[in-house]
Structure 1
Amino acid sequence: MNRYNESPIFPAAAAIKPAQVLPSRVSLSAALWWNISLKEDGGHSRTAANYLSSLGAVRAYLGGEFDRFPLSGVTPAWVEGYASWLRSRHASSAATAEFYFRNFRVMCRRYWRLACASLPGGRDPFAGIAFHVRPASKRALPRESLARLLDPGLRARLTEREGESLDVLHFILFTRGMAFQDVWNLRHDMVGDDGHIRYRRSKTGAPIDVLVTAEAAALMERHRRCGSPWVFPFLHDFRRVERAAPGDRNREPSEESSLKRVNRHALSIGRLAGLPIPLTTYVMRHTWATLMQEAGYSVELIGQCLGHTSEETTRIYLSGISRGSVDRAVDDMLDRLVRPYAQGGPKGKRASDSQVKRRHRKKDTPAGGTERPARKGRVLPEEGATEPRNAQCAVNKDSGGGQEGCAREKKCLFLAKKGTLLPHRFPHKLFGDKSNSYQPNMQIIHKICFIYNCIISRLSRSVDT
């Protein structure tokens, strides 16, 4: 029984049945308190706290009429007035106004649905009312920054309490991005003999099975405390907070207060490590999801590990943290397909070795306009063209062979200048696509050509003799 169940209108939320207990005619305050009680009894304390904040916003809007205002009075015109009041009251923070309005809408719709009550005015009073809020981008640590956070030397620069919070951050990373609320609720009896942690996610109730990695096992063993069922007992130890009132030092802290303490330490750790973004427990969860996505794993697998109830939720979740990977992919495409052909390329961008080789293979004329001279001692015929016999004679004549060289070629036609029989550059049609004509197996072909040329040289000397 919690403090919200003290309301004389409703019993415990677990005993409430739709359309049998919930009256259709009820005050707005009673309907909102019932929603808070429902979440409290279900173990969703964070959601109940959010609902309580939204109830306070409605109370501030209605003033002294809050306790007497009927739920049927939530008409489209009234909702529009309340939304306008929220926009003006929180003009500098549209996200805050949207937060209060969204929770209030959820509570009203849930009560109407479970009580089978008719909607005021015959239609949904919240339809068509929206707050234009810029979505907050979920941030994740890049791999270079993650290396700083995992550096063993970082722990030596932290206090004892900051070191404990660092272990929580590492544990989240090595347990598939486990949410902090589940870390706070984690007990040793949830770890099976097969080395798996089995639990239900606090937010969605989805069953999750996590393999205890070597890193996670070391962290769990480091903080094992005799007589404590918790994996991280310091999260439940209120005596560590000196500012607590004397009567509260023996009371177990809430999950919310523990989260605030860990995040406060995480910000200090992030600044000390020189991280580019503020470090929190959710940043570690986002970092794990980002690394899984960049490694090429499916959205379905990532959502299952995160405890999402639908694949669409995972897609929305990943869409806000994948900007870095998209930027790197686009930049990589420009490096491979666009910048090699740009005049000079952008300043500061260096072409890869394969790009440089491809540039040298081209037969374009230099910038000065003069044609590149042919390599001495080797004739490279154009692809698909055959060299006339008189041209071969002319080549031999220029090289000092005269008519004797031509006669020798007539006598033994397969003897020619080195490279004319087996050109150094093979026709691309032997290999299909031109881009794939220079593969590693060309080394074997060049060795065969070398052996063949040696045989030809031996035969040419024997013909001369």
Structure 2
Amino acid sequence: MASVKVKFRPSTIEGKEGTIYYQIIQNRVIRQLKTDYRIFTDEWNEAGSCIIVGSSRRSNLLLSLQERMEWDLKRLDMIIRQLDNRKAGYTADDIVASFQSNKEGQSLFNFMQGIIARLKQMGKIRTAENYSCTLKSFMQFRGDRDILLSEIDSDLMQLYEAYLHGKGAVRNTSSFYMRILRAVYNRALEKELMEQRNPFRHVYTGVDKTVKRAVPLSAIKRMKSLDLSLQPNLEFARDMFLFSFYTRGMSFIDMAHLKKKDLQNGFLSYRRRKTGQQLVVRWEKCMQEIVGKYPEDSLSPYILPVLKYPFKDTHKHYRSVMSGINRNLKEIARLADISVPLSMYCARHSWASAAKGKNIPISVISEGMGHDSEATTQIYLALLDNSVVDKANAQILKGL
């Protein structure tokens, strides 16, 4: 059986990146398979034949390259096993040709991991997470057995859908995974990696309307009035929920990344990380009261004490903090006699519901964010004079 080794070739020019390549050996014949993965000499572990990710500012890039490398090796292993199973002779050149071919040996796992790596490099971390979650689920369904793109068909997708429902997933969850897999499949079609087989025609890829996760103003008042001074973790979770509500349902990821420079002349200006839309919110007294409760870190660029500074992997830390807040909000809901399973996302729904209850025009609220797509709501909001939205927010905050 052929063997594969990972090698690193330093640059002949001092201070420049070297190149990672694969050494393929079959019947004592050695061939090299080049990659476009470039790193510096001190980022390579020769003994372990792996990248040193570390905690440098390039850590995200290095981690992405390491993941791509691991998937390349899995793909090479799959190609070698397929060639072995044919019970016919093959050479190291055959392995290289199969790997480089756009039509042979291209597996779903490898192709999808490549997409995930590119999304990370483009800074689309949230989308990359969704793709990673889908890939992990599909790998569990397959028992970690990879599959060629050309082997994806309607029967397989129906089996996967049945598997998800058997694990307790609702239709919206299975549809979420299916839509991501469909996007991956369509990208492979664009690259002409296989022929169209319409594998998603018999599975559900729509979006069912779900129960709204809003809580009424009366419940938010009860949350606000809770004495949590002896339970700082609960108090912090409650404050983050209220800050989101005060700022027109700002998403937690945007809250976490708010910087001090974003607050100027009584207005908070930020760009949504999900859509890229620029939003401006008038700074109210209740917002300042929350910020003022927590000691200011002069070294930190952030307004809220969510992300530690300096912190190398801010995204991982943000996810960890959000998870803790959502757990604590469940306890707050119990203390405040709130039946809705409380989370940070509820603040967004709650603001929209409160606005609707205050008879704010539908053009301002877009039916309490009740559209099938949040993007539709954002289109409505983007067309409005921002002062109209600020007045709406002021009316809501007066009710507390």
TM-score range, shorter chain: 0.5 to 0.7
Distance 1:183 1:213 in 2: 15
**Residue 202 of structure 1, aligned match among 273, 293, 313:** 273
Among candidates 47, 57, 65, match of residue 5 of structure 1: 65
1:327-368 per-residue CA deviation (whole Å, 9 max, x = no partner) reads xxxxxxxxxxxxxxxxxxxxxxxxxxxxxxxxxxxxxxxxxx
1:310 to 376, 379, 387: 376
1:41 aligns with 2:121: yes
Q: Residue 176 of structure 1 contacts residue 305 of structure 1 at CA under 8 Å; is this kept in 2?
A: no
| Corresponding residue number in structure 1 for 2:161 | 83
1:109 counterpart (170, 176, 186): 186
Which of 115, 130, 153 is the matching residue for 1:50?
130
Residues 193-242 of structure 1 deviation map (CA, whole Å, 9 limit, x = unaligned):
x2222222112222222221121122223333222111122x22499xxx
Alignment of 1:174 with 2:246, yes or no, is yes
Q: Which runs of 5+ in 1 are unaligned?
A: 11-20, 240-248, 316-465
AA aligned to 1:284 is: A
> In structure 2, what is the Cα distance between the partners aligned to 1:308 and 1:112?
28
Amino acid at match of 2:130: N
Q: Distance in 2 between matches of 1:47 and 1:22?
A: 28
Q: Say if 2:172 and 2:207, in contact at 8 Å, map to a contact too.
A: yes
Query: Is 2:285 aligned against 1:214?
Result: yes
What residue in structure 2 maps to residue 161 of structure 1?
A: 233
Equivalent residue for 1:189? Answer: 261
2:354 counterpart of 1:291: yes
Establish whether residue 71 from structure 1 lines up as the match of residue 149 from structure 2: yes
Could you tell me whether the CA contact under 8 Å between 1:188 and 1:231 is conserved in 2?
Answer: yes
Counterpart in 2 of 1:323?
Answer: none
In the alignment, structure 2 segments of 5+ residues that lack a partner are 1-60, 73-99, 382-400
Deviation at 1:39, TM superposition (A): 2.9
**Secondary structure, aligned partner of 1:236:** coil
CA distance in 2, matches of 1:166, 1:266: 7
Give the fraction of aligned pairs with identical amino acids, expressed as a percent: 23
Q: Secondary structure at the match of 1:4?
A: helix
State the secondary structure of the residue aligned to 2:243.
Answer: helix
Distance (Å, rounded) in 2 between the aligned partners of 1:78 and 1:272: 47
Larger Rg: 1
Query: Residue type of the partner of 1:73?
Result: E
Distance in 2 separating the partners of 1:78 and 1:204: 33
Contact 1:208–1:305 (Cα < 8 Å) also in 2: no
Secondary structure of the residue aligned to 1:155 is coil
Is the CA contact 1:204–1:308 (under 8 Å) kept in the aligned structure 2? no
Q: Which whole-Å CA distance do the structure 2 matches of 1:99 and 1:305 have between them?
A: 23
> Structure 2 CA distance, aligned partners of 1:22 and 1:301?
53
What CA distance in whole angstroms lies between the structure 1 residues aligned with 2:141 and 2:341? 35
| 1:59 Cα deviation after fit | 2.0
CA distance in 2, matches of 1:279, 1:199: 25
Q: Secondary structure at the match of 1:205?
A: coil
**Contact between 1:162 and 1:266, CA under 8 Å: does it hold in 2?**
yes
Q: For residues 204 and 184 of structure 1, what CA distance do their matches in structure 2 show? A: 16
Partner letter of residue 242 of structure 2?
A: H
TM-score normalized by the length of structure 1? 0.53
Secondary structure of the corresponding residue to residue 309 of structure 1: helix
**Letter in structure 2 aligned against 1:219:** I
Preserved CA contact (<8 Å) 2:352 2:368: no
The separation in 2 between residues aligned to 1:229 and 1:138, in whole angstroms, is 35
Cα separation, 1, equivalents of 2:355 and 2:152 = 45
Q: Which amino acid aligns with 2:320?
A: S
Q: Distance in 1 between matches of 2:274 and 2:211?
A: 21
The answer to whether the aligner puts 1:136 opposite 2:210 as a matched pair is: yes
Q: 1:155 to 1:4 in 2, by over 3 A?
A: same
1:92-113 C-alpha deviation (Å, 9 max, x unpaired) = 7555444433332233234434
Residues 291, 305 of structure 1: alpha-carbon distance in 2 compared, 3 angstrom cutoff: closer
Q: How does 1:250-269 map to 2 (within 5 A)?
A: 254-269=317-332
Judging changes above 3 Å, is the alpha-carbon distance between structure 1 residues 311 and 179 closer, same or farther for their aligned structure 2 residues? Answer: closer
8 A contact 2:299–2:309 mirrored in 1: no
Q: Is the 8 A contact 2:176 2:205 kept in 1?
A: no
Checking the alignment, whether the CA contact within 8 Å between 1:31 and 1:108 is kept in structure 2 is no
Check 1:96–1:2 CA distance in 2 against 1; reply closer, same or farther (3 A cut). farther
Q: State the secondary structure of the residue aligned to 2:338.
A: coil
Residues of 2 paired with 1:267 and 1:87: CA distance? 26
For residues 185 and 220 of structure 1, do their structure 2 counterparts lie closer, same or farther at Cα, with a shift above 3 Å needed? same
The count of corresponding residues between Structure 1 and Structure 2 is 286
Q: Which amino acid aligns with 1:41?
A: Q
Q: CA offset at residue 51 of structure 1?
A: 1.7
SS in 2 for 1:136: coil
Alpha-carbon contact 1:40-1:48 (below 8 Å) kept = yes
Identify, as 1 or 2, the structure richer in strand: 2
Q: Are residues 231 and 110 of structure 1, via their aligned partners in 2, closer, same or farther at CA, if it must alter by over 3 Å? A: farther
Q: CA deviation at 1:36?
A: 1.5
CA offset at residue 270 of structure 1? 1.9
Deviation of 1:250 after TM superposition, in Å, equals 9.4
Q: 2:149 touches 2:194 (CA, 8 Å); kept in 1? A: no
- CA positional deviation for 1:70: 2.1
Question: What is the RMSD computed on CA atoms of the aligned residues?
Answer: 3.6
Q: Distance in 2 between matches of 1:70 and 1:53?
A: 20
Identify if the C-alpha distance between structure 1 residues 71 and 123 changes in structure 2 by more than 3 Å, giving closer, same or farther. Answer: closer
